[in-house]
Amino acid sequence: MTTFTKLSDQETPAISIHPSRRISKINPNIYAGFTEHMGRCIYGGIYDPGNPLSDENGFRKDVLEALKELNIPAVRYPGGNFMATYHWIDGVGPRDQRPARPELAWLGTETNHFGTDEFLKWCEILGTEPYFCLNFGTALGWVEYCNGKGNTYYANLRRKNGRQEPYNVKYWALGNETWGPWQVEQMTREAYAHKAYQWAKALKLLDPSLVLVLCGQDGTASWDYYTLKQCLLPAHSPLSTSTVPLIDMHSIHLYTSSPSHLPNVTAPLAAERAIEITSSLIDLARIENGVPPGQLRPTICFDEWNVWDPIRAEGSKGAEESYTLSDALAVAVYLNVFIRKSKDVGMACIAQSVNVISPLMTSKDGITKQTTWWPLYLFSRFMRGWTIGAHVACGTYEGETSPKWVRSVKDTPWLDVSATLGDDGYVNVAVVNIHEEKDLESKVDGATGEISVFTVTAGDVAASNMKGKQEVGVTESTWDAKGAYLFPKHSLTLLRWKAE
């Protein structure tokens, strides 16, 4: 949690860090990923058989090694919009017998050469938990195939396909963006809430250990309120035969972008307000529905987020963004938001993990780590443990925001800050100086000893790693914690020291 006091631009900024004020535990799942059958995410991304860079499974070894650097706790699959017309049964069994199908989300052909067993094997090699997004036509059979232990049809089919023990897939989403007109599975909120609740009931009867994620919109919509009100019911509701809560998480999505740096880098603050609103809607639904206080409160699953301009990186053409330093700083602000709101956020999935609006790009010869890779790397490496109290006093950006409503509901300070206390006893402070032209000298109260400093910046906000050379990366240095610290213009700085 970070509080803020607005100063004039003539006053000296100050950041105060309070390691003894532990606010909430950070769920490692905020560093989750997302792989969809879209563009080159799967084929030519994580799966590239015949390439000398791939292993015997067809998995790109360079991609696996790079993603291991991020210590990704969970990966969402196989969509996204792709999920609406996907039948998982097409992607299991002998590869030469799998049917090719028209793919309606991104207007391609799905070969089904990569499916459930391949993805789950890839997750095991990566060391991550799978998170499946399902449609309502094939859900029960898919759960039985993945998790069934008995002598039943789909559990036996899994065994026939070479996997004896259950995969024990824990996380399952009840549809994807079913409120959207681009969805083949689009529904009204009334139809969705009814269907989602009934399917949740059936799924938990089949496997009570599942973590089920309700499909929300962006956290600020009447869809979110309606579906939460209809589906967050007491576990012993007369409408339910289950003795466990049916809904464990509520998903929201947000993509932001702007061709102008300051609207671009402040846009992720919309995610912060969306989390705050969603958290209140969860409380309101529980209050109105008489949910007992002892029943586990759902958390927020921010399972699609990123910088994405769908006009410049069209989805049906693969959505391959070429990211800039400005975009990297926007990603850092998103990550600051998830740290600040760790009490409410149970998972966050950057969309996507490889090639498609991704920090990691492949070619037949290797990989490129885009500008947005580096904030992910620093946060996933250091920003774990506990969110701790911090206070920022500085000037603010006063111009237009994107979306426009951010201007009326959020402060937009020049220094965007979050702070953590790791289980190793180290304090970590992430500071994004969003100012395009001005270095900001700031007091850092609470910093002691020798400070390790990690900086992400470049000569200008348009710097990119997709021009044949790495213009944006991480530089390391130290600071003696004496006097003020100069945060460079348009930069991410991570300060790290041992707590006293």
Spell out the residues 6+ positions from residue 317 whose beta carbon is closer than 8 angstroms to its own. Answer: 39
> Burial, 236: exposed, middle or buried (Cβ in 10 Å; 0-12, 13-18, 19+)?
exposed
Cα 223 to its chain centre, rounded Å, is: 21
CB count in 10 Å sphere of residue 386? 18
Nearest-angstrom CA–CA distance, 78 and 73: 17
Tokens of 303: 């399972």
Q: Give yes or no: 144 in active site.
A: no
The DSSP annotation for 378-417 comes to HHHHHS-SEEEEEEEEE-B--S--SSTTHHHH---BSEEE
- Closest to 47 (Cα-Cα) out of 107, 87, 95, 106: 95
Residue recorded with tokens 């995969």: 167
Residue 259: cis peptide before it, omega within 30 degrees of 0 = no
Q: Which of 177, 185, 272, 321 is catalytic?
A: 177
- Return the amino acid letter for 484: A
Q: Which of 103, 118, 185, 304 is catalytic?
A: 304
CA angle 258, 259, 261 (to 5 degrees): 80
Question: For residues 216 and 176, is the Cβ–Cβ distance under 8 A?
Answer: no
Integer-rounded Cα radius of gyration of the chain? 23
- Return the amino acid letter for 466: M
94 forms beta bridges with none
Q: Give yes or no: 69 in active site.
A: no
Question: For residues 223 and 189, is the Cβ–Cβ distance under 8 A?
Answer: yes
Q: Which residues are catalytic?
A: 177, 304
